[in-house]
Amino acid sequence: MATKNTDRDARITELYEQLIEIEQRLIPTGLHVFGRVPEGQERGDLLRMVASFDRPEHNVRALPKLIAEALGFDDYDAVLRESPANENRQLIDGIARESVSQFCEAGAEAAADWLNKRAGVKPEDAWPVFQLLAGISEKLASNHELESLMRALRGEYIEPGPGADIVQNPLVLPTGRNTHAVNPYSVPSRTAFERARHAAEALLRRYVDEHGRYPRALALVLWGLDNIKTQGEGVAQALWLLGVRPLRDGLNRATELEVIPLEELKRPRMDVVMTVSGIFRDLFTPTMALLDKAVRLVASLDEPLEMNYVRRNIQESRAAQFDDAVTRVFSNAPGNYGANVNFMVMQSAWEDSAALGDLFVTRKSFAYTRDSTGRTVEGREAPALMDDALSRVEATYQNIDSFEVGITDVDHYFEYLGGISNAVEKRAQARPAIYLADSLSPEAKIRSLEETVRLETRAKTLNPKWYEGMLKHGFRGVAEIENHVTNTFGWSATAGAVDPWIYTEISKTFLLDEAMLQRLFELNQYSVQSLVKRLLEAHDRGFWNPDEEVLERLREICGRFR
């Protein structure tokens, strides 16, 4: 009986933690309306996110950290590693939240004063944070988007600004500027390299916890925009997994590498296959060379095979030449973009799901490396090398870099991460473990794909706050709901990662509720038609097996469009 109670208590705690995680997940509650400034809770949430990171470039420390110290917790990082349901974490997060509300209502001075009374944070410590927030607040309120668009249409000059996310880099404000990328030679930045260590180690820890050993090889998806926003966190994660660090030359360019000794790394060097987007390839040419150099460097080390998986895998490779066996950086052919897996799924144009992974390889199997004479190879068709590299992959991974755009908001996540995971499944003859990380959250939490699909579904698709926010936009809002369902379906198609209950709940929420169906139908009948067809397709393809009654209803709704 005692054991039963303990089991029950553990299960309840776990459920409670999951509820808190869903509750605290930031979600967009509507689309961005061009020219409109964020207000109310949206503004407060943004400011709170900005304040939750150390910002050495502004001499500002993370607000929760200041609070934790003032309350006498010495090790905030340890508190962060606790679950969100942990009492101390809730206390600190609650105070941080309230102090930002105070700031929004009454300004910096009042907020610093409140924080001093509530948690004993010295006003001189809190002041820099709130001053930063005051500057951001002012810029958030001045929006030049429409004016800049008009200027652009007249062919006039638009002031430049960095391309990033407000939370990653508040200097992106004000919006409505001509965004520029980063200097590719500066990537990864020092901060990105430091931050990437947590994610890389957490990823390996998670895999080892689940499998009892390290993966033979990992496949990473790298995107251009993400690496602009994070100054190369994805790139830095790859370097950490390999166990090397970037070195800067006299011009402060990260063009060289240094090996992290095994004693310091305290684990084997991982083998990583990197598929990069066309945008990444165009923006980060020197970075691709750096990644290729990193793999070659690791392959050349005189280390035991069980501590250096690149060397171990090269020995097992089918490729006869060293230069071929060490090829790990792949992208589209020069001038080409995308894997097109998303289009194949959206158009229901596939029979066997392995066709989706094959398409990914067809599009992405161009090697970016060097030949035996040391000459750069920028895009050589090499499907056999990619097949060989993928045949040893046991884990696939991608970062999520913003709370606005997650894995069911756009079709590109299943196009890339779904596409490569599907390709691995056929080539390695086993489904890989598929992981994602919120590189945005201070603790860089790693989740499995299945967990992420559930979280996104609960926090967004099925959350009235999310869909009502979308429905405020009328026609477009219904299209967004339908997009989410199709993108969710994309994770069934490529990776079999969607629980059947998700399709049941989507049906109940949007189609089986007659009042909701009527609302959606009046706003945008075309998206309702696509939505019902997609749910029936999910059933036809065996992703979901609802009650006959539900199927009948869906078929009947579908019939209304004939």
Rule CB under 6 A: which residues touch ligand BEZ?
Answer: 223-225, 277, 279-280, 412
β-pairing, 376-381 vs 366-370, is antiparallel
Min. distance of Cβ 148 from ligand BEZ in angstroms? 22
Asked if 212 and 258 count as a contact pair (C-beta separation under 8 A), the reply is: no
The residue written with tokens 């794909």 in the block is 449
Cis peptide before 215 (omega within 30 of 0): no
Tokens standing for residue 31: 């689309």
Closer by beta carbon to ligand BEZ, 230 or else 353: 230
Closer by beta carbon to ligand BEZ, 324 or else 401: 401
Min. distance of Cβ 223 from ligand BEZ in angstroms? 3
Closer by beta carbon to ligand BEZ, 60 or else 329: 329
Min. distance of Cβ 280 from ligand BEZ in angstroms? 5
Min. distance of Cβ 452 from ligand BEZ in angstroms? 17
Handedness of CA 507, 508, 512, 517 (dihedral sign): negative
Range 6-12 contact pairs with CB under 8 angstroms and sequence separation of 24 or more: none
Distance between CA 480 and CA 486 in Å, rounded?
10
Asked if 399 and 437 count as a contact pair (C-beta separation under 8 A), the reply is: yes
Which residues, including other chains, have CB under 8 Å from residue 17's CB and lie 6 or more apart? 83, 84, 85
Closer by beta carbon to ligand BEZ, 184 or else 224: 224
243: left (phi over 0), alpha (psi -120 to 50) or beta: left
Distance between CA 258 and CA 266 in Å, rounded?
16
Closer by beta carbon to ligand BEZ, 354 or else 405: 405
492: left (phi over 0), alpha (psi -120 to 50) or beta: alpha
Asked if 214 and 392 count as a contact pair (C-beta separation under 8 A), the reply is: no
Min. distance of Cβ 221 from ligand BEZ in angstroms? 9
Min. distance of Cβ 421 from ligand BEZ in angstroms? 16
Measured in degrees and rounded to the nearest 5, phi and psi for residue 406 equal -110, -170
Closer by beta carbon to ligand BEZ, 284 or else 489: 284
Min. distance of Cβ 386 from ligand BEZ in angstroms? 18
Closer by beta carbon to ligand BEZ, 130 or else 397: 397
Min. distance of Cβ 222 from ligand BEZ in angstroms? 8
| Three-state SS annotation for 452-473 | HHHHHHHHHHCCHHHHHHHHCC
Closer by beta carbon to ligand BEZ, 176 or else 224: 224
Closer by beta carbon to ligand BEZ, 137 or else 402: 402
Is 230 in a helix, a strand, or coil? coil
Helical spans, DSSP H, in 365-444:
383-390, 412-413, 419-428
15: left (phi over 0), alpha (psi -120 to 50) or beta: alpha
